[in-house]
Amino acid sequence: TCLVQQVETNFDTDIFMPIISATETFAKVSYKQYPMAYRVIADHIRTVTFALSDGALFANEGRGYVLRRILRRAVRYGIKIGISGSFMYRLVDVVADAMEEFYPYLQDKTTLVAKLVKAEEERFHATLQDGENLLHNVLSKLEGKVLDGKTIFKLYDTYGFPIDLTGLMAREAGWAVDMEGFARGLEAQKARSRQDAVVETSDWIRSEERLNSSHITIS
């Protein structure tokens, strides 16, 4: 396609350029100034649009978590090129129009997909703002240049701030991150969850035993 259309990259073909051009209308930095950001956004909104149209959903685990991370990565690049607020959902129609000849079913899903994307964007912006404020506050009080694992885990566990973004933002500010400390905190949480599951099961078994040993007749 690049050869036929005489362009340098896949992203400069008519497969991606409609998405890139639409993104430029929201941004303060042009495609020529920061091509990588536009290419990430164009690629990721295509992925999300197709996946949601095929029945996937955003989630905290499995493929839904992969989709969530993909969307959030694109949103972060949107912020880098000066886009404020939700915008990815506005690109769903652009993707559907660009791919309509071979994937006409996308047109039937655009309203639902755009709604899901917008809700996820808004959720992420709220999380991002709260997490960024907390992270900057923490960094301003710490001594040295290492963000400790306990704080990283608190951002992740209490505030739902993505671990990859914590690492990215800390490194951008010149801080190292204690990922080993975070891993220990995560493993401790998993151990507590496993213990809670055992306790719940034991309580259920004891309740069942009491019921079976009683003289109550259940009809």
Query: What's the whole-model pTM score?
Result: 0.71
Specify the 3-state DSSP secondary structure of 71: helix
Closest CA to 153 of 140, 138, 174: 138
**175 compared with 28, residue with greater pLDDT:** 28
**Per-chain mean pLDDT for the chain:** 86
Residue 56 DSSP one-character state: -
Q: What percent of the chain has pLDDT over 90?
A: 51
**Among 64-73, 116-125, 150-159, where is mean pLDDT lowest?**
150-159
Q: How confident is the model at residue 166 (pLDDT cuts 50, 70, 90)?
A: confident
Range name among 7-21, 57-71, 93-107, 200-214 with the lowest pLDDT average: 200-214
Structural tokens at position 24: 């430029």
pLDDT, tens digit (0-9, with 9 covering 90-100), for 42-96:
999 999 999 999 999 999 888 898 999 899 989 989 999 999 899 999 999 999 9
Q: Which amino acid is present at 132?
A: E
Is the pLDDT higher at 177 or at 156? 177
Residue 121 DSSP SS3: helix
Nearest CA to 76 out of 177, 162, 146, 185 is that of 162
Mean pLDDT of 201-207: 48
- 37 pLDDT band (50/70/90 cuts)? very high
pLDDT band (50, 70, 90) for residue 203: very low
